[in-house]
Amino acid sequence: MNTQTTPDAQISPAAQSRSVLDVIDLTIRYGTKPAIRNVSLSIPQHRITAIIGPSGCGKSTLLRAFNRMNDFIPNVGMEGQILYLGSDIYAREVDPVEVRRRIGMVFQKPNPFPKSILQNVAWGPSINGFTGNLEDRVEQSLRRAALWEEVNDRLHESALALSGGQQQRLCIARALAMEPDVILMDEPCSALDPVSTARIEDLMFELKERYTIVIVTHNMQQAARVSNLTAFLENGSLVEYGETDQVFTRPRNQRTEEYVTGRFG
């Protein structure tokens, strides 16, 4: 494999930070239809990387490949590699459960369990044999997700009673309670109002101090506001990948420029 000689636009632009995830010549097919075509890119540590592109461009497929959530979809074929801290997460001896413990995920629609707020956050650590103080872990996670102040007096109430924005922050807290390295966010604000969206975006800034964040969004303003790096996908191919500033103000590729200026998509 000529993985070392990826085209210019696809080399990690953030050489100053070490990469957590390396995608090497990745192709993903649903049946025979390719959803991701020969994508190579590196996700740097403690940065927010946004994946943008028009609907159906494969951005969610790429994101879900990072924690092997595509495993649940029948007839998915994959070529190439995804390395997490240098080791192939699709290697035969790797347990996908272990991958998902390290690489957490927040979904498009808030999906809290129909349990109490406390049980939602404690769920991940408790199934994974966490032996420390569970309540401390819950409080810490809720604080990091900027939800503690709003819910600390009703931890035993149902999570379903929370507002949409609170539910999404609860889902972030639930992911944080696993102490993951990486947090994948699949259009986390698409079901939220502007105020809740702003809160989540603020939260992402704080979270990147400790975590590596990859966010899929079809909201270009959001990508421009929150991310350090932006990858633009079209038809499953990586068109451009670079510092967010550069991608939005001086795109190297004609298609990128057309997309970020809103001429299509």
Partner 1 sequence: MSQGSTAKPLLAGAGTRKSRTKEELIRFVLFLCAFLSILTTLSIIAILAWEAYSFFREVRVLDFLSGTRWTPLLEPRSFGVLPLVAGTLQIVIGASLIAIPVGLASAIYLAEFASAGVRRALKPVLEILAGIPTVVYGYFALTFVTPLIAAIFPQTQIFNAASASIVVGIMVLPMTASLCDDALRAVPESLRQGAFALGATQFEVTLRVVLPAALSGVMASFVLAASRAIGETMAVTLAAGATPKMTMNPLESIQTMTAYIVQVSLGDTPVGTVEYQTIFAVATLLFAITLSMNIIAHRVLARFREVYE
As a dihedral over the C-alpha atoms of residue 169, residue 47, residue 89, residue 27, rounded to 10 degrees, the angle is 100
CB of 234 to partner 1, least distance (A): 26
Q: Where are the alpha helices (H) located in 93-227, listed in sequence order? A: 96-102, 117-127, 134-144, 148-151, 164-176, 194-207, 220-226
Q: Which of residues 114-133 bind partner 1 (CB under 8 A)?
A: 114-115, 123-124, 127-128
Size of the site for partner 1 (CB under 8 A): 26
Q: Please, which residue, 24 or 121, has the CB nearer to partner 1?
A: 121
User: Of residues 23, 175, 185, 203, which one binds partner 1 by CB under 8 A?
Assistant: 175
Where does residue 113 fall: left (phi above 0), alpha (psi -120 to 50 degrees), or beta otherwise?
Answer: beta
Least distance between partner 1 and beta carbon 174 (Å) = 7
Contacts with partner 1, 32-71, as mask; x by CB under 8 A: -----------------------------------x-x--
Q: Does residue 105 touch partner 1 according to CB under 8 A? A: yes
The label of the residue with tokens 């590596």 reads: 212
Using alpha carbons, select from 241, 204, 198 the residue that is nearest to residue 53. 241
Are 76 and 30 contacting, i.e. CB atoms less than 8 angstroms apart? yes
Whole-angstrom CA distances from 127 to 52, 124, 178 are: 34, 6, 10
Among 97, 161, 205, 206, binds partner 1 (CB under 8 A): 97
When asked if residue 190 is in the footprint of partner 1 (CB under 8 A), the reply is no
Using the rule CB under 8 A, which residue among 18, 33, 79, 98 binds partner 1?
98
Q: Shortest approach of partner 1 to residue 30 CB, angstroms?
A: 15
Nearer to partner 1, 13 or 180 (CB): 180
Stretch that binds partner 1, among 29-37, 79-87, 113-121, 215-223 (CB under 8 A): 113-121
Taking the complex as a whole, the smallest distance from the CB of residue 221 to partner 1 amounts, in Å, to: 26
- Enumerate residues 194-253 that contact partner 1 by CB under 8 A: none
Stated as kind and residue range, the H or E segment containing 248 is helix 244-249
Tell me the one-letter amino acid at 74. P
**Which residue in the set 29, 46, 109, 210 belongs to the binding site for partner 1 (CB under 8 A)?**
109
Q: Which is nearer to partner 1, 27 or 30 (CB)?
A: 30
Query: What are the beta bridge partners of residue 22?
Result: 42, 83
Closest CA to 200 of 232, 163, 230, 233: 163
Q: How far is the CB of 184 from partner 1 (least distance, A)?
A: 8
Residue 197's nearest CA partner among 179, 223, 174, 177 is 223
Is the distance from CB of 160 to CB of 112 less than 8 angstroms? yes
Residue ranges in contact with partner 1 by CB under 8 A: 67, 69, 72, 74, 97-98, 100-101, 104-105, 107, 109, 111-115, 123-124, 127-128, 160, 171, 174-175, 178
